Structure 1
């Protein structure tokens, strides 16, 4: 699949170098980063996406004489630039990472190369796609200019499930120029009946047209007849209003502990507006305000994920799947409950 150019993968071999790390540790990190990039690229190629990245030049005798020009040319040709975000990659873009010699002995002038990538990104933001491979999303590792765009958290080994609509499927649809969603056909306009003057009652305690007496609506909004009285509730026993513990569908998760993967890989990106969930999980207004302040530079999804991670840490051994689901259910977020159950099935 061409679609006017390949997809270019931009990354740094050293993902998160610590100045105090020894050289064997750095080599191990570099090897793992290269393996992830290669596995991701091969997955995309297998699914029909044309991919370019530096490892494809190894052993070919075609190493660029000038890495800056090669990178610039790749970005110009590419339909999309997949930016593999890490703490070192953001330094690379901001020209604060020192130059290095890569795994196959070629000198890379990263200081200048990063400036070129950043400059080209600012000219065509839409073609640059932030991606996190096998690591939780960290907004501070995404260029500020792209923090309001789609950020994809991809887990390898990758398995494409077109019915799941997860981050991998959404990314693949974007790269392959597909839109799996088909809008239903537009229906016919419903013609509204004009109300008779004086027959419209306002909601909750307003007044009829031409009347000084307040009225209360308990039936249809457009009704002009007498207001029906609500039927008396059927008598029920106290026992019937209480859910028996034996019939609680979440008891099967009573001994299942929540882990970080369930949050970061399972439901984190589905949380969205999270304050009502936090309250049902026992967070006070003060704690919610603190979470908003501590993560004020991050979006709703990241704030919600951090809230759940704090809940997991604070609850300790009581952080069961049952407790989490019951909180989500009280917050009327059964969509998240369904996703959590899907992830648990995948995990097992």
Structure 2
């Protein structure tokens, strides 16, 4: 019997989890504790008894057998299998001391060795920061560890494909909490201190494979809305009407009644500055304001936002902000 020492958190975990990775040999009774955990150390050492290959009973010509020795599978296909097709992406297939990459024939009663590929996992990032300070993105690589394993129910055929008889098993994966501190330190070194996404680290840990994760983003400035005027020339709603009175230009004119609104000011709104991810303010231009003015025969409303007519007549725009009303002379 061969002894193999490993570290594992509990006997129950060894029975349920570790044994699953070795479905052709390990059972709970083969796992024996030989050392209790030390203070502040959850791991325990256990001893696994592994039967050596040479002590196995010889297989009959028609018997198939699979055995795991802690490093590799030893496979005896049996009499019905004549051709083996490797699958290099899943590990090495060795027959008579030689690794094969393409299909080969196997003699009745011979065994071959399968060394499954195991990935230890890979976690890292590349922090990309925009030169204008608008955003920071982490290109994350988070590949889970795992290993290939032979299926419990292997299908034996004359031409046996390794690819059809394996499965991928993910191993336990826990990113060291120190990594979060390293990432935070990099943010400080790069001067990123504003607009940081609150739960960016959880989003990084949730990546499977590779992906981009938004880390920080600027708050853009909100531009102002300038004050402007709408008046009778824009079709301002009032009692104004087009009258068929003919003036000295022989054209139709617009008339208004007493207290009609000739022009109205629409107040503007101040803008709001933004801030980039480095904490720098992003300025906005000032709002452009204006002031309505009442010309002859008009008056301003109490809030200064409207110009109204004092009597019936024709509204006139004297300049950009000044309005008046002229009396209508009718030639009977």
**By the TM > 0.5 criterion, same fold?**
no
Range into which the TM-score falls when normalised by the shorter chain: under 0.3
Structure in which a larger fraction of residues adopt helix: 1
Structure-2-length-normalised TM-score? 0.18
What TM-score results when the alignment is normalised by the length of structure 1?
0.17
The structure whose residues are more often strand, as a share, is 2
* Rg (Cα) greater in structure: 2
